[in-house]
Amino acid sequence: MSSEPLQLVWFKRDLRLADHAPLAHAAERGPVLPLYVIEPELWQQPDASARQWQFCREALIALRQALAALGQPLVVRVGSIESVLERAHRHWRLGALWSHQETGNGWTYARDRRVAAWARHAGIPWHQSPQFGVIRPLADRNGWARRWDERMSEALLQAPPRLEPLVGVDPGTIPERVSTLLAEPPCPLLQRGGLSEAQDVLATFLQQRSHRYHSGLSSPLTADQSCSRLSPHLSWGTVSMREVVQRTRARHQQLQGSSAAGRWPLALKRFEERLHWHCHFIQKLEDQPSLEFSELHPLTAGLREPCEARLEAWCTGQTGLPFVDACMRSLIATGWLNFRMRAMLMSVASYQLWLPWRQSGLHLARLFVDYEPGIHWSQVQMQSGTTGINTIRIYNPIKQALDHDPEGVFVRRWLPELAAVPAVYLHQPWTMDAATQQASGCMVGRDYPLPIVDWQQAASQARDRLWALRREQGFAATADAIQKRHGSRRSGLRPAAQRRRSERSNRQSNAVASGTDQQLSLDLG
């Protein structure tokens, strides 16, 4: 082994070779120790799940193989990152620590601060490269979109052609399980992880499926194929955001002027907009880590009361609202759901069931294989009405069912107990008379629950409470300050007083809009 000091590349949620700045830059300076640390305490956090580890594990196996082909396989250790780094430093002469910046949950934020302290004490420089379009540190949002475009246009970095083998280094095992605390129902339809999987999904989307993106992303019947399905690969870093943006732009340019392109270029344009919004939301958590735990608008704190019975019914898909339950059961089985249905689940939990957003948000975080804390907690607060700057939109679950599953195909697939219910009753089975229930083999209240709340009355009460809160003294001024700090400059969101006048004229509507900073379809999927 070379006598040069080792360059330690700490892989986190960036499990790839291509366009990996820490790996590329470290390899230019000497022999590389590629390291992934399984941190038991991280996997014991309330937002972690076995399905997330399964996807991560597949990505780690693929990454180890890819690095081995270059000369040095991925080294995997279990324990706290500080103790692993300390042992590595004592055993070898570490020249530098290299990693991507991470805007993760509160635990990783505190962990990275500890690593920074360790590196300073050890006298080892820690080089952190941006992972997405997130700016660290960011003084204000002015010019953020331009800087995002500039970063996404930078040249892609190639993987090193070769890595010097580290003699006598045990690569370690990649265990099937990381924590006995990750007990959950199986996820039989989980999307596969890994480098080749990411490239295959990106290729099929851009070349075959993306022409349906903007028209098929809202319905769970079509979103599975119309959405990119890249979200877990972006979250776990098996493909870089910059590569996705540049290949999307290249495909868009290829289609320009083609008589057969149709609305395909528009679909790709809409997709790139969502890539922009992806980073826009992560930037919010980067700028204010507390939004994972505390209401963005302080006057919305303590609105809702915990109720274990309602929470359990919602978590297991037993609310008595068929479309809501079908979405939840689909998510449990697959680890993925299109954005509009995610928003509906959160809206029903927050308004009709009046559950605290942190409770329901943690349940969804564990189910999402593509869980990205910055996007997740920003969206959870947005859909719960706790940001203070977004329009209150309460999803009507029956309207959503009729709009996006009019024949009940999705509901029948995931709620087999309703399979024989006539279509006219399927989305509201409690309206069946006794004879129809008997004939369909589904007695409501026995085979399938009655609605656990009067959802219409609950929605009305929730709307009234939120609007009364927004009229309180000081609410608008705080909302304006939040908008100045976190709001998109592209959205042109008006001051709170103007927004309230506009929103009041539409507040009785249950329709759900999309395409602005108030309500986004982030269906990278």
Judge whether residue 130 has pLDDT over 80: yes
Q: What is the mean pLDDT of residues 78-87?
A: 97
pLDDT in tens, 308-336: 999 999 999 999 999 999 999 999 999 99
Q: What is the rounded distance in angstroms from the CA atom of residue 445 to the CA atom of residue 358?
A: 29
Q: What is the mean pLDDT of residues 466-492?
A: 85
Q: What is the rounded distance in angstroms from the CA atom of residue 480 to the CA atom of residue 496?
A: 6
Name all domains of the chain by residue range, CATH numbers in brackets.
6-131 (3.40.50.620), 195-287 (1.25.40.80), 292-504 (1.10.579.10)
Q: What is the rounded distance in angstroms from the CA atom of residue 40 to the CA atom of residue 32?
A: 25
Residue 257's pLDDT is what?
79
487 confidence band (pLDDT: 50, 70, 90): confident
Q: The whole model's pTM is what?
A: 0.93
pLDDT in tens, 348-370: 999 999 999 999 999 999 999 99
Q: What is the mean pLDDT of residues 243-268?
A: 92
Q: What is the rounded distance in angstroms from the CA atom of residue 427 to the CA atom of residue 54?
A: 34
Judge whether residue 503 has pLDDT over 80: no
Residue type, 460: S
pLDDT in tens, 208-239: 999 999 999 999 999 999 999 999 999 999 99
Q: What is the rounded distance in angstroms from the CA atom of residue 336 to the CA atom of residue 234?
A: 14
Question: What percentage of the chain carries pLDDT values higher than 90?
Answer: 86
Q: What is the mean pLDDT of residues 115-129?
A: 98
Judge whether residue 515 has pLDDT over 50: no
Q: What is the mean pLDDT of residues 77-104?
A: 96
Q: Are 78 and 38 in contact (CB under 8 A)?
A: yes
Judge whether residue 517 has pLDDT over 70: no
Q: Are 182 and 88 in contact (CB under 8 A)?
A: no
Residue 183's pLDDT is what?
60
258 confidence band (pLDDT: 50, 70, 90): confident
Using the 8-state DSSP alphabet, how is residue 451 labeled? P
185 confidence band (pLDDT: 50, 70, 90): low
pLDDT in tens, 359-412: 999 999 999 999 999 999 999 999 999 999 998 989 999 999 999 999 999 999
Residue that wins the pLDDT comparison between 2 and 160: 160
Q: Are 106 and 293 in contact (CB under 8 A)?
A: yes
Query: How high does pLDDT run on average in the chain?
Result: 92
pLDDT in tens, 292-309: 999 999 999 999 999 999
Residue 87's pLDDT is what?
96
Residue 260's pLDDT is what?
75
Is residue 444 helix, strand or coil?
Answer: strand
508 confidence band (pLDDT: 50, 70, 90): very low
Q: Give strand pairing partners of 11.
A: 36
Q: What is the mean pLDDT of residues 505-516?
A: 38
Judge whether residue 107 has pLDDT over 50: yes
Q: What DSSP assignment string belongs to 22-87?
A: HHHHHHTTS-EEEEEEE-HHHHTSTT--HHHHHHHHHHHHHHHHHHHHHT-PPEEEES-HHHHHHH
Torsion sign over Cα 144, 146, 150, 153: positive
488 confidence band (pLDDT: 50, 70, 90): confident
Judge whether residue 524 has pLDDT over 80: no
